[in-house]
Amino acid sequence: MSVLVEHKENTTPDNSRPNCGGPPSSTSVIKRGVRERQKVESSAESRAPGDGAKKMNIMAVERVDPGLCDILSTVPQVVLYQYESNSNTWERTSIEGTLFIYSRTSALSHGFVLLNRLSSDNLQEMVHPGSEYRVQGQFVLFKKHSDADKVYGLCFSTPLLSSTNGYLLTSLSNQAGTSNGAGHRSAPLSVGMRSQSVPSFPQSQVQCMKL
């Protein structure tokens, strides 16, 4: 622990006058002001340790979508699954990595991207009016706007993460519908799926967290 020792000049007091002191010199005022400013700046840096990481995340997402405005949610590890209607099973895709849900400056004001850590093949989707997101356990089910015949699932490490981000996407979709009218509505998630495949994900088929 460092100890701050105040330095005093070695002067001989004039006993004929009261030792009232005097106004500090302009130099000492400036030095004290500099020290106080440095303390404030240091304190601000300690309160915002994630600023550097957020800037890096913004730069990474901007490479995929230059229309990025702000990042609303970040999940370090998410795996993309695709539903196979012929076999009534869920197949793990080759896309997994960090999920970002973000706002945009364009007409479609929100979107999400799954930055693939395995290759340059990322998942990017805009949140359209009427887009449906269904939370099921550790999964968030959705359909791509450009491929409404297939159902996909974002697999999170915990149900809490899936519900938090699934409900966020649902809220953003509702906002898009309110601001843009009814718009185009995708076919319900149940279309093209067998009813028994929607409620559960057998662990023998989906081992999404064994990475």
- 154-202: pLDDT as tens digits: 999 999 999 999 999 999 999 887 765 544 455 555 544 554 444 344 4
Structural domain contains residue 194:
no
| Max CA distance (Å), the chain | 105
Task: Please give the pLDDT value at position 50.
Answer: 64
Please give the mean pLDDT across all residues of the chain. Answer: 76
- What residue type is assigned to position 71 of the chain? I
Structural domain includes residue 103: yes
Contact 144, 128 (CB under 8 A): no
Domain that holds residue 123: 67-182
Lowest mean pLDDT among 14-18, 114-118, 126-130: 14-18
Q: For residue 21, tell me if it sits in a domain.
A: no
Residue 211 counted as domain residue = no
H or E, element range at 132: none
Instruction: Please give the Cα distance from 58 to 168 (Å, whole number).
Output: 19
Instruction: Tell me, yes or no, whether 91 lies in a domain.
Output: yes
Residue 205 CA, distance from chain mean position: 29
**Number of structural domains, the chain?**
1
Buried b (16+ CB within 10 A) or exposed e, 36-48: eeeeeeeeeeeee
Residue 171 in any domain: the answer is yes
Give tens-digit pLDDT for 14-59. Answer: 544 444 444 555 555 455 555 655 554 444 443 444 678 889 999 9
- CATH code of residue 165: 2.30.29.30
* Residue with the larger pLDDT of the pair 209 and 90: 90
Does residue 159 lie within any of the structural domains? yes
Please give the pLDDT value at position 27.
Answer: 54
- The answer to the question of residue 196 being in a domain is no
Tell whether the model's pLDDT for residue 136 goes beyond 90: yes
194-203 pLDDT, tens digit each: 544 443 444 4
